[in-house]
Structure 1
Amino acid sequence: MDVVETMDELIARVQQQVYRLTDLRDAMTGILITETSSDGTVTVEVDGNAALTGLSFTGAISKLTPEQFEKTLVDTARAAAHRAVTELGELINDFNAESTR
C-alpha cells in the first residue's frame, strides 16, 4: 500500500473506500433474481441473500401431481438461490480485487 504523505490524502483515500463500500452495499441489496420453471408453472423471486421475496404459479400447476409440484417448486427455488448467491459472490470478488490494486 502507498504511503500517505498528507492528511488530505488520507481523508481522500478513506472517503473513496467509504464510497466503494456504499456502492457494494447498494449493489448487494439490489440483487433480485427471478427464475421460472422450464414448464412455466412456477416463478420464484429471491433477493441477494437467497431469501424468497415472491412466488407465483400458473393454472397449469393443477395438472401436476403433488410430487411433480414439489420437485418443480424446489428445483426452481434452488436455481434462483444459486443465481443470487453467485451474483453476490461476484460482487464481493470484484470489490476485493479492486481493493488489492
Structure 2
Amino acid sequence: MSGREMDAVVERASAQLDLLDGALSALQAVRAEAASEDGRVRVEIDGNGSPTGLWLSDSLQDLDAAVLARTIAHTAHLAAAAATEERNRITSELFDTFDAR
C-alpha cells in the first residue's frame, strides 16, 4: 500500500470516527417531553427512557390518585416514544451515512 493510499485510509477512518462521536453526542443529548391532554402533567424522558423531569399542575387536587397515576404513566409513555423516535432518527442517519460511503 502506498503512502497516498494509507493517507486515504486514515482520513476515511478519522471521518468515520467523527461521525460516530457526533452520533454519540446526539444520542446522549436526546430529551423528549410530553404533556397530558389537559396540560396538567408534563414528563421529560432522556434517550435511555429514564424520566428526567415531572411537572404537576397545582390544579390536580381534585384528581383521584389512581387517575393521576395513570395520567403520569401515559404521559411518560408518550415522552418515551418521542425519545425513541429521535434515537431511531439519529442511528438511521448514522447508518445511512456509513452505507453511502
State the TM-score, normalized to the length of structure 2: 0.91
Q: 2:51, 2:91 → 1: CA distance?
A: 21
Within a 5 Å distance, the mapping from 1:49-60 to structure 2 comes to 49-60=48-59
Q: Which runs of 4+ in 1 moved over 4 A?
A: none
**1:61 Cα deviation from its structure 2 partner:** 1.3
Q: 1:52, 1:75 → 2: CA distance?
A: 13
Query: What amino acid maps onto 2:35 in structure 1?
Result: T
Q: 1:58, 1:52 → 2: CA distance?
A: 17
Unaligned runs of 5+ in 1: none
Match of 2:33 in 1: 34
Q: What's the C-alpha RMSD, in Å, of the aligned pairs? A: 1.0
Query: What amino acid maps onto 1:40 in structure 2?
Result: G
Match of 1:95 in 2: 94
Q: 2:91, 2:27 → 1: CA distance?
A: 9
Identity %, equivalent residues:
27
Within a 5 Å distance, the mapping from 1:1-101 to structure 2 comes to 6-101=5-100
Secondary structure of the structure 1 residue equivalent to 2:37:
coil
Query: What amino acid maps onto 2:45 in structure 1?
Result: V
More helix by share: 2
Q: 1:52, 1:70 → 2: CA distance?
A: 15
Deviation digits for residues 35-65 of structure 1 (CA, Å, limit 9, x no counterpart): 1111111110111111111111011111111
Deviation digits for residues 55-80 of structure 1 (CA, Å, limit 9, x no counterpart): 11011111111121011101100000
Query: What amino acid maps onto 1:62 in structure 2?
Result: Q
- The number of residues matched between the two structures is 97
Q: 1:54, 1:40 → 2: CA distance?
A: 15
